[in-house]
Amino acid sequence: MEKKTKIIGRVDECSRLKECMDADSAQLIIVYGRRRVGKTFLINQFFNNTFAFKLTGAYKQDKSIQLRNFSEALNLKSRKKYGVPGDWIEAFNFLREYINKLPKTEKQIIFLDEMPWLDTPRSGFLPAFEWFWNDFASTVDNLIFIVCGSATSWMDEKLANNKGGLFNRHTCRLYLEPFNLFEVREYLHSKKINWSTYEIAECYMIMGGIPYYLSLLKSSLSLKQNIDNLFFRRNGELWDEFDHLYKTLFVNGEDYEKVVEVLSDRIGGLTRDEIIQKTGMTSGGDLSKILKNLVLSGFVRVHGFYGNKKKKIRYQLADYYSIFYFKYISKQYGKDEHFWSNSIDNPARRVWAGLSFEQICIDHISQIKQKLGISGVLSEVTSWYTGEDEDKGINGAQIDLLIDRRDRVVSICEMKYSVNEFTIDKTYDMNLRNKMESFRKATNCKKSIQLVMVTTYGVKPGKYSGVVNAEVTLDDLFR
């Protein structure tokens, strides 16, 4: 038996898997999440690669290949040599026969990885699996059946929210999120990479918390050298990642890429109407499906508007790699293999870092709430903006992160990424006061307004720093 590798993070997921192992009835576990987020690694490590049967779907292979792979995987585990089944009904009958011969006194773990790829067109896979589970597997009390897939939309529609024969049949649903900053630091430490919180944050802006990307980092190189090596060196491991990212997850991946590209031009997000205008797509079911699937897969987030005005809801690109790809990789590949090291003082890079830091803050809203001492307070995270209205004395203003709290306080969060303490000067002080006053007038807000500065190293005490009511630093986001 192989020695287990330490699982970084995934505390809740491991706890739930343990509950399934301790249960006295059959378990159907659904594991899904975006590509490269570590789903297979988690299952392999938690169960120590000890499976009664394991099959991995093959990308873009027809039913005959999938069934042949099934037969070979089953024969590796069985003393009986099964032939290649003619269809999935026969395949699951073979699996049923095999399971019946396994010891009843210990847990038997079956793992179907990349299950969406097994469900090829007109293959009959899903109806066969429904029959297999409902007629047999659900009655085997010592059976742990795990299904996993990166095609999140398929996993959600066909399994997690199935309206047919598998409706409400799963006993555990695990959606794997990317690592947060704390988990990234813990993972890097396990690789003997001891960077500062500032460097880890910059790494996060590029890779997000995607374990596979992080696994490619080398402790012998600096952060800048690693980025050049992975993204800008010819045939670097991640220079062509984008070509596979969407096409392997979605049918008509080009349409998904088109939506993602227009969103990358406005990191603050676009409304549905703006997406239609910029892509030239029609306002129909196809666009609705694309947006829904991008949100389900974690590539896009829906950013609500204060006051719940649906027309102002924005779709925001949330995938750091995709943002970085359109900003730098797609335009730079092959031109300069040391591009990242050579662009350290580029003003455009500082703008990108500032906008990406805002993304990090939104993704670590629970840590911000914890620092503010409002973790237990019911709240809604939204954004807000308004145009100029001379009649009402309102200047145009925009708030990218706003926490509307049940304790009758609205926390307006200003996010600033800098290499030192952030200095509030007279001009910025006026900007902040205008923003708060415009918000109060335009929304007729009767709650107390709290200005929160979220910065890398804090706000430098000075003549204008008194406008700040509370502070959150980069270190706080690593909680």
- pLDDT tens-place string over residues 3-26: 556 899 999 999 999 999 999 999
Average pLDDT of span 388-415:
90
Enumerate domains of the chain plus CATH numbers. 11-175 (3.40.50.300), 181-239+333-358 (no CATH), 244-323 (1.10.10.10), 364-477 (3.40.1350.10)
What per-residue confidence (pLDDT) applies to 385? 87
Q: What percent of the chain has pLDDT over 70?
A: 97
Task: Flag whether pLDDT at 392 surpasses 80.
Answer: no
What per-residue confidence (pLDDT) applies to 253? 86
For 425-442, what is each residue's pLDDT tens digit?
999 999 999 999 999 999
Average pLDDT of span 233-261:
89
Cα separation, 465 vs 459, in Å, equals 7
**DSSP letter assigned to residue 305:** B
Q: 419 by DSSP, 3-state: which?
A: coil
Task: Select from 187, 125, 197 the least CA-distant residue to 159.
Answer: 125
CA distances from 207 to 36, 203, 240, 292, 382 (A): 11, 6, 14, 23, 25
Give the pLDDT band of residue 1 (cuts 50, 70, 90).
Answer: very low
Average pLDDT of span 192-217:
97
For 52-91, what is each residue's pLDDT tens digit?
999 999 999 999 999 999 999 999 999 888 999 999 999 9
Q: How far is CA 231 from the centre of its chain?
A: 20
User: Burial, 312: exposed, middle or buried (Cβ in 10 Å; 0-12, 13-18, 19+)?
Assistant: middle
Cα separation, 261 vs 280, in Å, equals 13
What per-residue confidence (pLDDT) applies to 367? 98
What per-residue confidence (pLDDT) applies to 343? 85
What per-residue confidence (pLDDT) applies to 210? 97
CB 155 within 8 A of CB 112: no
| 405 φ, ψ (degrees, to nearest 5) | -105, 150
- Matching residue, tokens 């990242």: 340
What per-residue confidence (pLDDT) applies to 199? 97
What per-residue confidence (pLDDT) applies to 333? 57
What per-residue confidence (pLDDT) applies to 103? 96
